Structure 1
């Protein structure tokens, strides 16, 4: 240290003390023992082999809610150490008439040295790892930050949300703020339903910046009002979100109308006949006149819904340079809004898939973006149902707007998850994630240890690609889908698939791939790698 001046040395000491005060957190398991001791009227003495001065230690203790104690014995203050036993002798001499129990994590200094000096001692684990999804490859500072704030016996979903979803929401919020700022966005809108938790995280970080609001949204709720902006039935159908195989019944449902809206003279049409492409349905001479009629019916309904949507969004301040925020994937809702309101709309998503048909739109993805970070897109694809579930909320899916007594109201589908199940599971995980966002924002670490996109995704990626038995058990109880696909992780029996092999492939395509196969075979393998191979061979 001779190369440093006294002023420099004092500056470095001050910086270290400030850093220690900023980053030190209490051991939450030991803190419970501390509270128990106070509750039972025990005198609490704090002792440590510590070089920092007593005023710094007192500040650290106070910051962590440890304000009530009898005395502090520091090696820096008494020039004695626990490891030598001399600091214990000092304590013993002052409290000679007391029965003393010392609790610490160093076997020699806290256990052996205390006992040979007549003090009872309990040795606790030095590194009590409560992490389930972090690895040595992750940022150690962040992993320790998370570990220091989890209880061993916490609810599974709380710990999961804090460790996996929290860092993702935090890092996404930082990224989103930078994008909104660089693109000079005036008004930002978080789209229902996935956008709710994203808005809550962003508001913790940045408040009401960019006049951000939460608005009703769904593919159906935005696409149907936009359909009148297409020229002809082919152009309209080409912008539907259709499955590989579809029929007229499904088509008119996606167009926002029902059979009751159709003239009775078309009752003889087979609405259940399956088509494989837009070209096929357009070349069917038997329904050509019906399609032209259908275009008029769809357009008239679309105009009505468009008027309501414009009024609703106008009242929300949908103007200027607009940013919309959602979980993402293809950009269907953004495309619909652009058709209605024009091009001054930018989209910011967790991810934009490489096969998006809307490369002309102003879209950006955090985890993956139209071919960038393709591995992240592949990983999300293997557990996309579970990933989306983590962003859901108690509202039903938005269908459309309607007017009653000169007021505009939203109409919702019933939520397929019970409120009780969501409240006890996913909503709890979301609460924990928001707790993480707040804790990390308020921590000294935030100033110099930013969470990268890769770091924020690593834990949730491990969960999704290589789940444990515990993960499968907990999530299998809440994510019930249709009767055809029982759930994300519960496939049908082996005997059933022996006679229906195509069903196995179909069910697997709609499942949490790693979780479903692990649960099905009871053998833990890198199933996400098999998924990539399966997709490659099935092309």
Structure 2
């Protein structure tokens, strides 16, 4: 639990200790809805009506209007559900209106859950023998709400008071007077609720003690959403995250930021492979989709049996070199990605092919390399590396033939050759592993990916399928994702090592994994992210019928916004991570976020600008320093110059100060001033 949640819990328990009678508001306090707004229930009712072949034009608008009319004509301070449907019956008739009312009550029950935080406060009050009552300004029937409370664990209380049933409300203060009289309350009374006016200010006016419990939507800072699917999903996320103290940063990140992405991808995948006879999830990036697919297989019929197949570009694509022209093979063996800041040495090239360095020490010198630590920096360096490999290509093919044999045995062991056609799942981009599988097995192979680029291999062009973008389209999604491609590969990565090859023991083939990142904290974070995504999907599954058609945009926008926002608290956590961007035994680890001091920043601004463009989270920078350093005239003037239009509007630098509180406020004001 976040420390502020725990602090609030202790504060509320202290108040409970001081009072004999404890009353709770119900909705948005003791109970939560798994939709963002109460009126979203009416949209779901409308869809349920259509499922039952009852088609009404804009039922949601009709339902809201009926409630407004019922309130307008009521002689009481609140209305009942019966009053509302009496208005609806005037348009639809008694029989149909009663049918719809039953559906609304059913949907309310389905989408109502307990608030774990308030439930703990309730448990504390109960354990300390307090008189507990529930008070709500609500149109739903008393008996219905009573049952909801009991079903959600609030099974012991003195009484429940509902404004619609009684005819007076908290909004007028009269319900408090009614409760005091009915319960004969003469002792100390604490009321807890989420409405500042009716639950807090009005309670104080009636000589109660009161605690304002800020509703979860406000706590989470939720913006308005435009689809009922996203309303359900976001409500589930915030109801979980904002009411428990047990989640760390990476678990919250998993729930709030990427669970939608993975759930959307899994739903799409299900539709793609339904009716197929096999689906193979490729390690490492198919790890979490595999876990989620297994869960969905429990509730959806007609899905193929899923298999987790250890795979990597190193273990599949390099043995597949035997099926390539020599020039293409040399291109692949010496490839690296300088745009991501990746570096590679002649020694790493040899290691990736599993060639013994000692045997070729003199050879590389003959081609102008000093030793195996020489870095491939230029086209000329790469050309010389190709010539080295070309001169020993027979040795290369012998090694790769041995690797290919082990790979084929592994695929046989996993039943791959028993399939007439193959279906593989991976994070995506160009389809290199899919092509290798097709070339090695000779079996037609379809690939299902989070995304595929425009330069997919020609011979598999008609056999790739992308979720967020396919063959580079949609251009908007492709550009956003590929611009921060390592941020996506990060969340897809399994919390285990990368496959670098296979070994045979007692005629059984085992994968050989290596923790190439050499960062145990990274694997801990990935485990937390993945476990929280799985928990989130467990919470989505009961609402599958409502979520199954969620659109791609709703699933992707959360992570898009996260990456673009570059919030300080997120950057700080990502400074702890690094990843390897090469294949095989590459040792070149790259950071996600750069962290530097004020002094270092103004001394090396140009280099830092260049370096952060190669961060795995592009253009992310934290500048650290004390308030006294910032106030120094020489630093202040230089920072003011560098943090002007030329930098801040271009790169969105985030400032971090080691001395928080006053210092953070100071620097925020300074930055806002500079950005004017």
TM-score (norm 2): 0.68
Matches within 5 A, 1:45-60: 45-60=133-148
Q: Residue 320 of structure 1 corresponds to which residue in structure 2?
A: 420
SS where residue 578 of structure 2 aligns?
A: coil
Aligned to 1:19: 107
Look up the match of 2:593.
Answer: 489
Question: Does the residue aligned with 1:217 lie in a helix, a strand or coil?
Answer: coil
1:229 maps to 2:323: yes
Matched-pair contact (CA < 8 Å) for 1:480–1:486: yes
The answer to whether the 8 Å contact 2:254/2:530 transfers is: yes
The 1:118/1:320 distance shift into structure 2, 3 A limit, reads: same
Q: Are 2:301 and 1:210 aligned? A: no
Partner of 1:537: none
Distance in 1, matches of 2:293 and 2:382, equals 46
Contact conserved, 1:28 with 1:150, CA < 8 A, in 2?
A: no
Match of 2:437, SS state, is helix
When structure 1 is superposed on structure 2, of 145-154 and 404-413 the one drifting more is: 145-154
Aligned CA distance change for structure 1 residues 467 and 101 (closer, same or farther; 3 Å): same
User: Does residue 509 of the first structure (1) align with residue 614 of the second (2)?
Assistant: yes
Q: Which residue of 2 aligns with 1:442?
A: 542
Does 1:156 find its partner at 2:249?
A: yes
Q: Matches of residues 19-168 of structure 1 in structure 2 within 5 Å? A: 19-97=107-185, 98-126=187-215, 128-131=217-220, 135-136=223-224, 139=227, 141=231, 142-151=233-242, 154-168=247-261
Q: Secondary structure at the match of 1:202?
A: helix
1:130 Cα deviation from its structure 2 partner: 3.7
Mapped contact 1:351–1:366 kept (Cα < 8 A):
yes
> Are the aligned partners of 2:216 and 2:238 in contact in 1 as well (CA < 8 Å)?
no
Alpha-carbon displacement from aligned partner over 1:96-139 (angstroms, at most 9, x marks no partner): 2553222122344323444444433323324553437x644564
* Structure with bigger RCO (C-alpha 8 Å, 6+ apart): 1
Count of aligned residue pairs for this structure pair: 519
d(CA) in 2 for partners of 1:177, 1:432: 21
> Kindly tell me: are residues 100 and 241 of structure 1, through their superposed partners in 2, closer, same or farther at Cα, counting changes over 3 Å?
farther
* Aligned equivalents of 1:85, 1:510: Cα separation in 2: 58
Unaligned runs of 5+ in 1: 530-539
Q: Give the superposition deviation at 1:201.
A: 1.9
8 Å CA contact retained: 2:447, 2:465: yes
Cα RMSD after superposing both structures: 3.6
Cα distance in 1, alignment partners of residues 600 and 209 from structure 2: 62
Residue by residue over 1:303-350, the C-alpha shift from the partner in whole angstroms, topping out at 9 and shown as x without a partner, is 222222122122222223221111112211111111101242111111
Measure, in 2, the Cα distance between the counterparts of 1:287 and 1:485: 24
Q: Is the 1:421–1:478 Cα contact (8 Å) retained in structure 2?
A: yes
Q: Distance in 1 between matches of 2:279 and 2:334?
A: 25
SS in 2 for 1:509: coil
Q: Is residue 422–residue 446 contact of structure 2 (8 Å, CA) maintained in 1?
A: yes
Structure 1 residues 241 and 452: CA distance shift in structure 2, 3 A: farther
1:273–1:422 distance in 2 versus 1, CA, 3 Å: closer
The residue number in structure 1 matching 2:408 is 310
Distance change >3 Å, CA 323–CA 93, structure 1 → 2: same
In the alignment, what sits opposite 2:631? none
**Which stretch of the first structure deviates more once superposed, 143-152 or 368-377?**
143-152
Structure 1 residue 21: Cα displacement = 0.9
Does the CA-based 8 Å contact 1:485-1:507 persist in structure 2? no
**Alignment counterpart, residue 290 of structure 2, candidates 195, 199, 209:** 199
